[in-house]
Structure 1
Amino acid sequence: MAQAVVLQELQKGIYDEALSSFFRNVDTRSGGDGPDISKGKICSLKARALLIDMEEGVVNEILQGPLRDVFDSKQLVTDVSGSGNNWAVGHKLYGCRYRESIVEKLRRAAEHCDCLQCFFIIHSMGGGTGSGLGTFVLSLLEDEFPEVYRFVTSVYPSGEDDVITSPYNSVLAMKELNEHADCVIPIENESLFDIVNKIHQVTSSGRLGSAVKHSSLVTSSAGHARILPEKPFDAMNNIVANLLLNLTSSARFEGSLNMDLNEISMNLVPFPRLHYLVSSLTPLYTLADVNVPSRRLDQMFSDAFSREHQLLGADPKHSLYLACALLLRGNVQVSDLRRNIERLKPSLHFVSWNQEGWKTGLCSVPPVGHSHSLLALANNTCVKPTFIELKDRFMKLYKKKAHLHHYLHVDGMEQSCFSEAISSLSDLIEEYNELDATKGGPRTDPSRLKIAV
């Protein structure tokens, strides 16, 4: 859907405030890196993005696709061989090699912004480049732009991941996320696949009939529902794209309760390290670009707190909330929002010192093809099982010292990096354990002062 919207705007020749958040309008007559031109005209739309991958074939595939003209060829960082599924190669080797080039391109992108609000990093945790070089860029952003918020969307590998070293890469990356990110939105490949599979089951059952759009990711070129591919990466990536569209809607459109991105960090992160936010989207069909009758508004709120709509394998409704944000799009009134919060509050467990820990945003512009949608972001202890499972997978390898030599031969990499990383993850899990221990307990949480230190 995100791709279709951009292509439509390109065809119309429209450049407005909504597009200017993610794109800049460039006068290509000066060689491709000319100044931004006035709104309402279009010469060349260029994404405010830096594409980094140490396997150049991945970026080349994008540059050969329908959005090839949207990405600035001067804002690419690629290599040939990849990082070999090795965090140390991505972080230590390629990080040092491409540091100056990345900093230069980051500064160039920042200088073209009228009001730089935050950086988004989208990366995977299981491979070498995403985990290693991705978290290296995160630390660079803190060094070069310390006052600018850093939002990270991290895609965690599934338990059946075919990369044997993914537990090492993920735990090493977790330490960097703990230390350098302002907000992390963890997403699991398995949850993304389950959502795509659910959408496929509905569309292939015939219940939606002609409601499936011909240009949808779930339809073939002939307009029929596709057979779910073994690895439906396009559809899974589309879910992450729609997450970011909803997250940034208030920054791009008008609304009665617009929410800046820095307000999310301010209101949802009470302690620096506990900045992992569980996300859910509703309706799910928005993700597949499917026209279906709109869900009743109250049902949409209920769905946002159900396990089936989470982008992480978690159940926040039965865990402890530190805070929660509801970002709505469409024709929704403040009274509807308040009524549903009051309806849901009795079934949700909030930490005793933040019983009213709700942050809300209302954007008047709905997603394409729908009357309204809802993104829920929860700072909730339900992320703990994901971290515990990751720790267990790490320890199975680390106890045998399996595959360590691949990491230790990289300059600057020492075995202490592993012990520090697992210690950082263990401390994070323990902080969530202490919070869970207060659930339904005394009004004063003994963990509060310890975590705040």
Structure 2
Amino acid sequence: MKSSCLEIDNYYFLVLKGIYDEALSSFFRNVDTRTDGDGADICKGKICSLKARALLIDMEEGVVNEILQGPLRDVFDSKQLITDVSGSGNNWAVGHKMYGSQYRESIVERLRRTAEHCDCLQCFFIIHSMGGGTGSGLGTFVLKVLEDEFPEVYRFVTSVYPSGEDDVITSPYNSVLAMKELNDHADCVLPIENESLFDIVSKINQMTNCGKLGSTVKPTSLVTSSVGGIKNTQEKPFDAMNNIVANLLLNLTSSARFEGSLNMDLNEISMNLVPFPQLHYLVSSLTPLYTLADVNVPSRRLDQMFSDAFSKDHQLIRADPKHSLYLACALLVRGNVQVSDLRRNIERLKPSLHFVSWNQEGWKTGLCSVPPVGHSHSLLALANNTCVKPTFIELKERFMRLYKKKAHLHHYLHIDGMDQSCFSEALSSLSSLIEDYNQLDAANCGPPMDPPRLKIAM
């Protein structure tokens, strides 16, 4: 949210004049403070009070309270918060089955209220973690509610996957149970790994320490501490990690907020990048990596920016798309970039990328004329690629190490509506997803083979 607020600075002169424009209206409602704050946007182009188009849900109220006590407290509508006291105890069943049933009516009411204030509802974004109980359980419950209540509206999910050294012992259970819901109810999933985010922030710190960035790190940067020193890399800098995810979403939604010569609607991403319904997991790469307003560095050459976007160092998940199979790829560019620049770089990169035989020209491109704050241009690459398969295989292996011993199962099975079939169905769903990727890889190792493709499409 801090990064999205920084986008306002690009139109700061409008804000100073109190002008409410389309760029602001995508993320924020304009509320007349003379009313109870629940009316329509009636300020007639002038800013009264901005409220985020967001619903905050956490069963541990301290997390939301921390936001409400911070600098962004006035941005969130107090009527759009749903909290409990005790949390979900790192238990998917508590979040999904217990709290889901308990809070369904409140969630639906607030979702409808938010949707009614939208002039053109393009999609829903869900941002949640996979390892904990509330994020995995209640987060995927909300996803299913969205499908039930708004079946025609696209659902984009940003899912943060735990690392192998996660301190939540039951995170493999929670993640696999959540995966089944993502398989069944999401239109697009952008998997992100905590470990990758931490590596990115650590890399910035290392570059700063060795002088590669010179004195260009700002004193208020998220990559520095409050006393001006570099954060201890032994402690996870969550603000900086969260800001990277926010930058991903800002690039993803830029065409919906700003003008451009080749704007891309959000529904075009799913339409062009997801040839098979279940294979909707997209690998995201972002360049520049530096969080907005954190680091002042000379702009990368345009061609180098495209090369960076296909480098493992710029991905938000540990994977290797270049040595795996592409089903499709989208390039979302911001700044003073021409269509000819896009075409030139696609032609330059194509020989090094292995595209599926029946979609050799599977590129989708978008050009937004407004660059991100502090940079002349940026690029978000979204790849539907079989390289996500090792992440899912590793997750399955971690799940099986617990499940074979039936370890910790009793914590889940005592929740109403939960039985052991939930685990077997989730495991089967994940295994089926892995097998679909296996079929695609096998079909494209030799001569073209249609039967595996048709089997996936069924």
| TM-score, length of structure 1 as denominator length | 0.97
Q: 2:200 aligns to what?
A: 195
Separation (CA, whole Å) in 2 of partners of 1:385 and 1:151? 22
RMSD value, Cα: 1.5
- Tell me the distance in 2 between the aligned counterparts of 1:91 and 1:360: 37
Supply the distance in 2 between the matched residues of 1:53 and 1:288 (Cα, whole angstroms).
29
Match of residue 78, structure 1, among 83, 88, 100: 83
Residue 130 of structure 2 corresponds to residue 125 of structure 1: yes
Amino acid at match of 2:390: P
Pairing partner for 1:63 from 56, 65, 68: 68
Residues 324, 376 of structure 1: 8 Å contact kept: yes
Q: Report the secondary structure of 2:65's partner residue.
A: helix
Listed as ranges, the matches of 1:225-374 within 5 Å are 225-228=230-233, 230-287=235-292, 289-374=294-379
Q: Which residue of the other structure, out of 20, 27, 38, is the alignment partner of 1:33? A: 38
Separation in structure 1 between the aligned mates of residue 73 and residue 184 of structure 2, nearest angstrom: 35
Indicate yes or no: 2:450 matched with 1:450. no
Query: Are the counterparts in 2 of residues 28 and 34 from structure 1 also a CA contact under 8 Å?
Result: no
Structure 2: distance between partners of 1:227 and 1:90: 33
Q: Larger deviation: 434-443 or 370-379?
A: 434-443
Q: Deviations over 1:8-66 (max 9, x none)?
A: 55963442211110101001211222321345411110000000000000000000111
* AA in 2 matched with 1:437: A
- Of stretches 377-386 and 287-296 in structure 1, the one that deviates more from structure 2 is 287-296
Consecutive unaligned residues of structure 1, counting only runs of 5 or more, are none
The offset of 1:431, in angstroms, is: 0.3
Contact map agreement 1:281 1:375 (CA 8 A) in 2: yes
**1:319/1:38 CA distance change after superposition, 3 Å:** same
Q: Contact 1:54 / 1:79 at 8 angstroms: preserved in 2?
A: yes
1:209 CA displacement: 2.6
Q: By how many angstroms is 1:447 displaced?
A: 1.4
After TM superposition, list the pairs within 5 Å mapping 1:418-429 onto structure 2: 418-429=423-434
Is 1:219 the counterpart of 2:228 in the alignment? no
- Counting aligned pairs with the same residue, the percent is 86
| Rounded Cα–Cα distance in structure 2 between residues aligned with 1:452 and 1:430 | 13
Task: Tell whether 2:140 aligns with 1:139.
Answer: no
The answer on 1:107 being equivalent to 2:112 is: yes
Match of 1:172 in 2: 177
Give the drift of 1:439. 2.6
Is 1:150–2:155 an aligned residue pair? yes
CA distance in 2, matches of 1:316, 1:445: 23
User: What does the per-residue CA deviation read over 1:115-166, in whole Å, with 9 as the maximum and x for residues that have no partner?
Assistant: 0000000000000000000000000000000000000000000000000000
Question: Does the 8 A contact of 2:57 with 2:83 survive in 1?
Answer: yes
Q: Is the 8 A contact 2:335 2:371 kept in 1?
A: yes
Distance 1:16 1:77 in 2: 29
The 4+ residue runs of structure 1 with deviation greater than 3 A are 6-11, 220-229
CA-CA distance at 1:285 after TM superposition: 2.0
- Secondary structure, in 3 states, of the residue corresponding to 2:239? helix
Q: 3-state SS of the aligned residue for 2:242?
A: helix
Match of 2:417 in 1: 412
TM-score by length of 2: 0.96
The AA in structure 2 aligned to 1:280 is S
Q: Deviations over 1:389-436 (max 9, x none)?
A: 000000000000000000000000010000000000000000000111
| Structure 1 contact 285–292 (Cα < 8 Å) conserved | no
CA distance in 2, matches of 1:229, 1:444: 49
**Distance in structure 2 (CA, Å) of the matches to 1:227 and 1:398:** 36
Q: Would the alpha carbon gap of residues 4 and 220 (structure 1) be closer, same or farther in structure 2, given more than 3 Å must change?
A: farther
Secondary structure at the aligned position of 2:159 is classed as strand
Alignment pair present for 1:185 and 2:190: yes
Shift in Å at residue 442 of structure 1? 1.5
Secondary structure at the counterpart of residue 211 of structure 1: coil
Cα–Cα, structure 1 residues 227 and 404, in superposed 2: closer, same or farther, change >3 Å?
A: closer
CA 1:450–1:272: 2 relative to 1, 3 Å: same
Mapped partners of 1:223, 1:7: distance in 2: 26
Report the Cα offset of residue 6 of structure 1.
6.0
Give the drift of 1:3.
5.5
C-alpha distance after superposition, 1:345-399 (max 9, x if no partner): 0110000000000000000000111110000000000000000000000000000
CA gap 1:287/1:44 in 2 versus in 1, 3 angstroms: closer
For the structure 1 residues 124 and 326, does the alpha-carbon distance in structure 2 shift closer, same or farther, using more than 3 Å as the test? same
**For the residues of structure 2 that align with 1:7 and 1:281, how far apart are their CA atoms?**
21
Which 5+ residue runs of structure 2 have no aligned equivalent?
none
Q: 1:390-405 residue pairs with structure 2 within 5 A?
A: 390-405=395-410
Q: Is the 1:88–1:407 contact (alpha carbons within 8 Å) kept by the matching residues of 2?
A: yes
Structure 2 CA distance for aligned equivalents of residues 103 and 393 of structure 1? 34
Provide closer, same or farther for how the CA distance between residues 222 and 40 of structure 1 changes in structure 2, counting only shifts above 3 A: farther
1:298 alignment partner AA: D
Please say if residues 85 and 128 of structure 1, whose CA atoms lie closer than 8 Å, have aligned partners that are also in contact. Answer: yes
What is the distance in 2 between the residues matched to 1:266 and 1:128? 32
